Structure 1
Amino acid sequence: MKGPLAALKVLDFSTLLPGPFASLLLADMGAEVLRIESPTRVDLVRVLPPFDGDSSTSHAYLNRNKRSLALDLKHPEALAVVHKLVAEYDIVLEQFRPGVMDKLGLGYEALKAINPRLIYVSITGYGQTGPYKDRAGHDLNYLALSGLASYTGRRDTGPLPLGVQLADVAGGSLHGVIGLLAAVIARQSTGQGQHVDISMTDCAFSLHAMAGAGYLGAGVEPAMENQALNGGSFYDYYRTRDGRWLSVGSLEPQFMQQFCAVIGRPELAGRGLSPKPEEQKALKREIEIEIEKHDLAEWQQRFAAVDACVEPVLNLSEAVEHPQLQARGLVTAVPRAGKPAQAQLACPIKFSAGLEAPRHTGVAVGAHSAEVLREIGYSEAQIAELKAAKLLG
């Protein structure tokens, strides 16, 4: 039960969130992932609170099932080490700004000359080309420039700073994995690798989906609360008497009828289909009045046996305990050396053949340095020399 990606060997030069989340998915699905980490410049996720003992919970999660090789890429001997690794690890994942890996002698063309089967995935904010390619940015900036933030929020308060890193994860991480695996499939027939250029802004832009199709095809500009699915209709969140929230997604007539019956206003059912903004606003106000009459627990009880696309807004601790998420096994226990196992988010992808249980949480910088060097032919004396030269930190 090694996982469907057990044949893949990945050198991961990335830090922070996008690249590490991508390689986490690969490792969970069986790929052998070796992190190449600086022995002097710490990955900031390692010092990101909260901590479980002396370990960052984010680092422990994002880097589970991965080995770590500490390597000073500016050291002359580092090139030789990476070149030997690339002969076996024929996938590279990196997240530096464009040109940085080239300056280090580790760009795609240089490594491709050693291994033509190399698949080289670069995840950046704006991609390898264009006037913004060298510009710094964060998730919030990518969502802003892609246009997504312009219609995600409320008219009176503006765009929402999302609680999840949408461009980083849905953009960089997931699209990075898709591009990598597509290149692997292509290599099976051609024998050749390729460079996969992932821009988090590009990928965020592609998430416009229906709104983008509407604008490009029909000239309909999306804005806050002017669409059926962004607050422009009754499809929304409603505050309960105790200050909690209820999600109402009863778009189809059969669901709307059941919803309105449960809240005691069956006459409202026919108004859900109205395309007129002023009528939707009036309908929302009617629903708000009814939902505010009871606490969330009572609404949960009333809707428990009703299939109307109505669910409570749970906080994370409640979601962890929800029977549906528990039944799907979305929390797993990950072993730690000398300590009790740590609870972590599980791999969400289910395979009928199953997946190997998590092996370990994220490890210390260079925890596997000597082990990896032995595997590629270095003697104990050579390893000692590299340590003395501070190549390994």
Structure 2
Amino acid sequence: MQGPLASLKVLDFSTLLPGPFASLLLADMGAEVLRIESPTRQDLLRVLPPHDQGISASHAYLNRNKRSLALDLKQPEALEVVTQLLGDYDILLEQFRPGVMERLGLGYEALKVINPRLIYVSITGYGQTGPYKDRAGHDINYLALAGLASHTGRADSGPVPLGIQAADIAGGSLHGVIGLLAAVIARQQSGQGQHLDVSMTDCVFSLNAMAGAGYLACGVEPGWENQMLNGGSFYDYYRTCDGRWMSVGSLEPAFMRALCEALGRPELAAQGLSPKPEQQHALKQALQAEFEKHDFAELCRLFAGIDACVEPVLSLEEAVRHPQSQARERVTQVPRGDGSTQTQMACPLKFSEGLPEPRHMGARLGAHTDQVLGALGFSDERIAQLRSAKVVL
């Protein structure tokens, strides 16, 4: 089984999280992904803990199914290698700051002359233009500047650091893949490639889907705990008597009635329909008092058979063991290369024709250098010369 993207061949110059998560999705769906890695400047993801048998678990996951070519892009001979690769690989993914690839002789304008069908995807924090284009940043900064942190948090304590990298993944990775595949479809019609400029801040700004629409059209500025879905209503998390948490999303009247009846307080259901902040505040207090009368296990049993949009807040261990997770096969076994496997998160996309089985974990640096160069027609002697000159590893 090859997968729906088996016809795509991608050169991946990215490191850390946004680009690698994007190319992981592509590789899982069958694309051939070749990582171009620096032999002198290590991808910090390779050393990020925790480690499994001396290998970063994050790197092993994010770079599975990809090959690795260790190539020093600062060496003039590196351009020769990339130029030859472009005859076969017609999609390029990079994550450097604007101007870096141009200085290396690998900018879009230079490379599209070699291959006019080239689709060139640049993922950066702030984009290729604007006063912040050269500014350093991380996920928390992109969320702050996109306005998202201003209404995600608690009124008495402010914004809350998320447990995931929303700007990196939802902003950079997912939008990057969407744009890349759109460019592939456009190329099928025109025969021409193009440059895709993905700003993680731009993309995460668009995730202000309802709050942003309300502000731009109506001037309603969202704040902490003053919107229906950010803690300003009963839609929230509730502590149990043993210090665990339950999520309540009983927005529709039928679900609210089911919630209140299960807790033995059917009279509270009418308050759930009120838009008045004071009514919502009183309802939240009443619901919290009821949840605190029960322990976590009791509440899980209580709501397991009730369709009320009430679910337990699970640890990762519990989430993996959950029957829905088991049924959906969210976890897979990935070959290490020594006959054993590592447990990893599976590709979440389900195709009726299926996907190829995972081929291998993230490869060691330069694991496929000889294989790739040999396929390009480089002789053993020439490969040895490049290695001696430290162009490749």
TM-score range, shorter chain: over 0.9
Residue of structure 2 in register with 1:209 after alignment:
209
Paired amino acid for 2:261: A
Q: How does 1:273-352 map to 2 (within 5 A)?
A: 273-338=273-338, 340-352=340-352
State the distance in 1 between where 2:296 and 2:336 align.
Answer: 39
Q: How does 1:1-393 map to 2 (within 5 A)?
A: 1-338=1-338, 340-393=340-393
State the distance in 2 between where 1:356 and 1:371 align.
Answer: 22
SS in 1 for 2:340: strand
Equivalent pairs counted in the alignment come to 393
State the distance in 1 between where 2:122 and 2:279 align.
Answer: 48
String of CA shifts for 1:108-139, please: whole Å, max 9, x gaps.
01110000000000000000000000000000
> Which shifted more, 311-320 or 337-346?
337-346
String of CA shifts for 1:194-227, please: whole Å, max 9, x gaps.
0000000000100000111111111111100001
State the distance in 2 between where 1:40 and 1:103 align.
Answer: 18
Deviation at 1:325, TM superposition (A): 0.9
State the distance in 1 between where 2:101 and 2:134 align.
Answer: 13
> Which shifted more, 381-390 or 190-199?
381-390
String of CA shifts for 1:270-308, please: whole Å, max 9, x gaps.
110111111110110000000000101101111111000
String of CA shifts for 1:285-334, please: whole Å, max 9, x gaps.
00000000010110111111100000000010000000001110100000
State the distance in 1 between where 2:115 and 2:192 align.
Answer: 9
Ranges of 4+ aligned residues in structure 1 off by more than 2 Å:
none
State the distance in 1 between where 2:354 and 2:88 align.
Answer: 26
String of CA shifts for 1:155-191, please: whole Å, max 9, x gaps.
1111010000000000000000000000000000000
Paired amino acid for 1:277: P
Gaps of 5+ in 1: none
Deviation at 1:337, TM superposition (A): 1.5
SS in 1 for 2:25: helix
State the distance in 1 between where 2:209 and 2:121 align.
Answer: 24
SS in 1 for 2:204: helix
State the distance in 1 between where 2:249 and 2:199 align.
Answer: 32
SS in 2 for 1:69: strand
State the distance in 2 between where 1:304 and 1:77 align.
Answer: 63
String of CA shifts for 1:227-260, please: whole Å, max 9, x gaps.
1000000000000000000000000000000000
Give the TM-score normalised by the residue count of structure 2.
0.99
Deviation at 1:339, TM superposition (A): 5.2
Paired amino acid for 2:325: L
State the distance in 1 between where 2:252 and 2:337 align.
Answer: 52
Identity of aligned residues (%): 74
Paired amino acid for 2:215: Y
